[in-house]
């Protein structure tokens, strides 16, 4: 019997590290991605080479209909099975000062975060509630906790994730489903590749960017039975920032 973990945006970066780690913990991981099929296939190959199990499930998290269609298809191909762990990880940045921000940059960031959150969570939640066990982990950001200049759209989207985490955790705790948010600081991935790491490091008490594997280790702990009493929390992983 497989225990499934769906990770959105798992072709690269933090999502990929989470997929690799959860596969190592014994989950059959469902690797969602948007368009980078080569990177997603590479993630799957790395997991399988290490003896793990993985499936690909591409969909655009900004498109509710696409999410529904993909998850309905998954359900049809996996009769009697359900998704036990959901990691809402896919996200994008479109930074700019609010006074210059165009509508597209606002809506793209909000939609990628909140559309994905609603449709994936809504779809998989009933299976978790029936099983009386489940884990939902939302990858927020310290930008959503403290707010960062140049990221009004991104901070708003991540704060929405945090609010939803707190509310939903209270709805489902009695059914042994936990819902937590992880708020990373600067993590070395494609998303931060354009930033001036040498300059930004000076603002981080730990003096370095974090690694995707460090975020993945925290997510794996939150998925474990040992974390059953932790719910509705926002856990910063930011080298002392925030």
Binding ligand NAP by CB under 6 A: which of 5, 9, 84, 180? 9
152 contributes a contact to ligand NAP by CB under 6 A: no
Alpha helices in 50-188 (DSSP H): 64-77, 103-131, 142-146, 152-172
Kindly tell me which residue out of 89, 120, 151, 180 binds ligand NAP, with binding defined by CB under 6 A: 89
| Between 41 and 173, CB nearer to ligand NAP | 41
Is residue 190 part of the contact set for ligand NAP (CB under 6 A)? Answer: yes
CA atoms of 200 and 178, how far apart (whole Å): 34
Contact 2, 81 (CB under 8 A): yes
Q: Looking at 120, 153, 165, 189, which residue binds ligand NAP (CB under 6 A)?
A: 189
Residue window 62-81: x/- pattern of binding to ligand NAP, with contact defined by CB under 6 A: x-------------------
Q: Give the C-alpha separation, 110 to 91, whole Å.
A: 9
Q: How far apart are CA 87 and CA 148, in angstroms?
A: 24
Does 239 contact ligand NAP by CB under 6 A? no
What is the DSSP-derived secondary structure letter of residue 50?
Answer: T
In the region spanning residues 208 to 227, those forming contacts with ligand NAP, defined by CB under 6 A, are none
Residue 74 Cβ vs ligand NAP, minimum distance, rounded to whole Å: 15
Q: Contact, 12 vs 39, CB < 8 A?
A: yes
Per CB under 6 A, does 54 bind ligand NAP?
A: no
Q: What would the DSSP string read from start to end of 175-237?
A: GTEEEEEEEE-SB-SGGGTTS-HHHHGGGSTTSS-B-HHHHHHHHHHHHSGGGTT--S-EEEE
Among 139, 177, 179, 181, interactor with ligand NAP by CB under 6 A: 139
Instruction: Kindly list the distances between the CA atom of residue 206 and the CA atoms of 9, 31, 216, 239, in Å, as whole numbers in the listed order.
Output: 27, 31, 18, 5
**Chain residues 108-127 in contact with ligand NAP, contact rule CB under 6 A:** 112
Q: How far is the CB of 229 from ligand NAP (least distance, A)?
A: 25
Angle between helices 64-77 and 103-131 (to 10 degrees): 30
Asked if 11 is part of the footprint of ligand NAP (rule: CB under 6 A), the reply reads: yes
CB of 91 to ligand NAP, least distance (A): 2
| Residue range at the interface with ligand NAP (CB under 6 A); choices 27-35, 69-77, 145-153, 228-236 | 27-35
> Among all residues, which ones are annotated catalytic?
154
Binding residue count for ligand NAP, defined by CB under 6 A: 31
- What residue ranges bind ligand NAP (CB under 6 A)? 8-15, 32-36, 39, 60-62, 89-92, 112, 139, 141, 184, 186-187, 189-192
């Amino acid at each position: 019997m497989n225990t499934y973990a769906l990770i959105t945006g798992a072709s690269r970066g933090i999502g990929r590290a989470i997929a690799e780690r959860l596969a190592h913990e014994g989950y059959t991981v469902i690797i969602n991605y948007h368009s980078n099929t080569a990177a997603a296939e590479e993630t799957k190959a790395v997991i399988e080479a290490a003896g793990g199990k993985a499936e690909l499930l591409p969909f655009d998290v900004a498109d509710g209909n696409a999410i529904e269609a993909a998850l309905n298809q998954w359900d049809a191909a996996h009769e009697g099975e359900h998704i036990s762990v959901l990691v809402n990880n896919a996200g994008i940045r479109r930074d700019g000062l609010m006074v210059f921000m165009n509508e597209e940059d606002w809506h793209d960031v909000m939609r990628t975060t909140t559309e994905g959150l609603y449709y994936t969570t809504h779809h998989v939640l009933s299976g978790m509630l029936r099983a009386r066990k489940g884990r939902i982990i939302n990858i927020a950001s310290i930008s959503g906790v403290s707010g960062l200049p140049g990221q009004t759209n991104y901070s708003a989207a991540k704060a929405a994730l945090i609010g939803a985490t707190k509310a939903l955790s209270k709805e489902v705790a009695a059914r042994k489903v936990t819902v937590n948010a992880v708020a990373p600081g600067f993590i070395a991935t494609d998303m931060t590749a354009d930033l001036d790491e040498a300059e930004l490091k000076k603002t981080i008490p730990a003096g370095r960017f974090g690694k995707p594997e460090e975020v993945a280790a925290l997510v794996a702990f939150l998925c474990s039975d040992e974390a059953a009493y932790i719910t509705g929390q926002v856990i910063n992983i930011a080298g002392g920032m925030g």
